[in-house]
Chains A and B, each alone.
Chain A
């Protein structure tokens, strides 16, 4: 790459760190996009840790991690997409589409649920492909393309479910072949130090690690930053912009498939009206974690921290026993605080 458009270019950072003083090494660390959100997370954690007794227990931590992971897994895909300069409003209902597809395909044709899961994967990737393909073909903003997809999927979810099952939720498939193994993969839990941790937490960490490696260590990662930073100059230096964008939408599709499988195998049935509004939580996790809405900047680790902040806040309010009428106000205020702290830390670090 002739020019790196991202301020978080991994190579420059480490070379410089070798030559400069300790204070500058700290500064390099402080200017990383996820640091602000890390500070926010520490503040939120400390706050709830000090005021809510149950928050300090292992069981509570497992609950928070689970809530964070269901948002966080999607936030991995959404953060990558945002770094690439686009966002996806259809991500919330796409999760439900995937769960519905797997369940109804397996049920209707009486096949092993893994077959249903495979079909759902194809459908989810196709939705991602379609989002990306329409976007690069029509050059419409992602807001319009994915909003249309959101509405279409919402309609399809309900209409097709009703058509196939005669009801608006899927049939319970928990007795079908392959369900137990699928549940083990997507929705089991395992004990760690006496607390039950959901497997989604493991998958979440794995996806975050994988995505970070791609972003920081591979050519594709550079392409993603370049496409998000300045599409035209990226194209000028030979980045396959269209492929990168379509690939990013398909990554979101993959994560939606995974989340959909989790919902299905965790709850046995899927209601076709679910998922609406969750797309904003994914975007929010990415933004709280330091991804810019304009693209070209941010990390997946940051998005994971963002999801964790949301999980801690949402559940922490319950643990603290605060008046429930205020719950969404507190969630909003906490998130706002996290974003402001994030921005403040970054400007302070850059000033020095």
Chain B
């Protein structure tokens, strides 16, 4: 007890000294910028995504959104549903609560058209991120943050050309997902060799593993296995072991485990669309619009967050951030 009291006294003394040393002069001089916290009024922003629950990718997006919200004095209301109809209801719900801005993903743009125009009628700014680069302007959405899946797929295909690959396998973990299909088809267009698509079910890892192994056994000429998500890439490494093939893995998107795999040379590279940045910018842009009227991209051009390549040349810089779940 005695010791505690002594410490407290010491601490109090130190604190008052510090306070005296840093005290501002009452008049004149440069105004100190507030450190960290902004002094703008608290805003409420609704973020509505098509997240499939429990996927590492979306966790990174959400970290970005939450960090931006914390910095900007924003009360972030996050909600998600993979079904477009449910997503539209969530948007409607946000309009009813009179939020100050809505950030959405346009994975199924047509289904959200009505809800978006309702938001506009209510005077609520809407920005889009992650999906919908083809549609956001037509829907009257103010800004877009994300990657162009077509560009990303093309960049991937060109990189395969650089390596000199003849045959690649593109593994799609959700059949009919527009963005994923675009990645593989754009990759196929840019790639001079032959590329083939394999559908698997990401909810069932043994099946992912078996199917990739089966494909590699069926076609021994496959040199590269291209996956569209980090967890799938990790499983592809095992599948290659199973099948006895010499194929190499490269992937779209990252997570902490995958960063380790690149360091160990198990995965050649990852096309990073920087999900943290997408979440962060979507929230931050609504704050900028509300407090300063800014519109990034001028309302007609998308703000691209990718494609950025992560490979052994820059992996160490990324690794430390991946560790805390933001890359």
Contacts and interface: CB of A to CB of B under 8 A. Distances in A.
B35 interface: no
A269 B234 CA distance: 10
Interface residues of B, number: 38
Interface of chain B, main secondary structure: helix
Contacts of A158: 53-54
A14 interface: no
B213 interface: yes
A282 to B, nearest CB: 11
A324 B203 contact: no
A271 interface: yes
Contact of B54 (A66, A161, A166, A196): A161
Contact of B198 (A92, A262, A278, A318): A318
Given A172-B257, A324-B198, A54 B217 contact: yes
Given A67-B206, A263-B205, A168 B218 contact: no
B218 A318 contact: yes
Contacts of B217: 54, 57, 59-60, 63, 319
Interface in B173-203: 175, 196-199, 201-203
Interface in A11-57: 52, 54, 57
Interface string A162-187: 10001111001000000000000000
Given A172-B257, A278-B204, A314 B211 contact: yes
Given A168-B56, A169-B231, A278-B204, A327 B199 contact: yes
A136 B55 CA distance: 35
A292 interface: no
Interface string A305-341: 0000001001100111100110110000000000000
Contacts of A311: 210
A325 B205 CA distance: 20
A190 interface: no
A168 B214 CA distance: 29
A63 B256 CA distance: 29
B214 A276 contact: no
A157 interface: yes
A343 interface: no
B105 to A, nearest CB: 17
A240 interface: no
Interface stretch (B5-13, B21-29, B238-246, B265-273): B238-246
A271 B55 contact: yes
Contact of A328 (B53, B175, B204, B214): B175
Interface in B145-166: none
B82 to A, nearest CB: 10
B320 interface: no
B255 interface: yes
B56 to A, nearest CB: 5
Contacts of B201: 277
B135 to A, nearest CB: 24
Nearest to B201: A277
Interface in B249-279: 255-257
B54 A54 contact: no
Given A57-B217, A321-B218, A328-B175, A271 B211 contact: no
B218 A314 contact: no
B325 interface: yes
B238 A267 contact: yes
A169 B56 contact: yes
Given A63-B213, A277-B203, A321-B219, A267 B234 contact: yes
Given A169-B56, A318-B198, A263 B206 contact: yes
B207 interface: yes
A273 interface: yes
B108 interface: no
A98 interface: no
A327 B203 CA distance: 16
Nearest to B51: A273
A273 B203 contact: yes
Contacts of B214: 54, 60, 63-64, 315, 318-319
Interface in B40-84: 52-56, 58-59
Nearest to A262: B206
A166 B59 CA distance: 9
B300 to A, nearest CB: 35
Pairs A-B, 8 closest by C-beta atoms? A273-B54, A67-B210, A272-B54, A70-B206, A318-B214, A315-B214, A54-B218, A168-B59
9 contacts: A54-B218, A60-B217, A63-B210, A67-B207, A158-B54, A169-B56, A274-B202, A320-B218, A325-B199
Interface of B: 52-56, 58-59, 175, 196-199, 201-207, 210-211, 213-215, 217-219, 231, 234-235, 238, 242-244, 255-257, 325
Given A52-B218, A168-B56, 11 more contacts: A54-B214, A162-B59, A168-B53, A266-B205, A266-B206, A273-B52, A278-B203, A278-B204, A315-B211, A319-B214, A320-B218
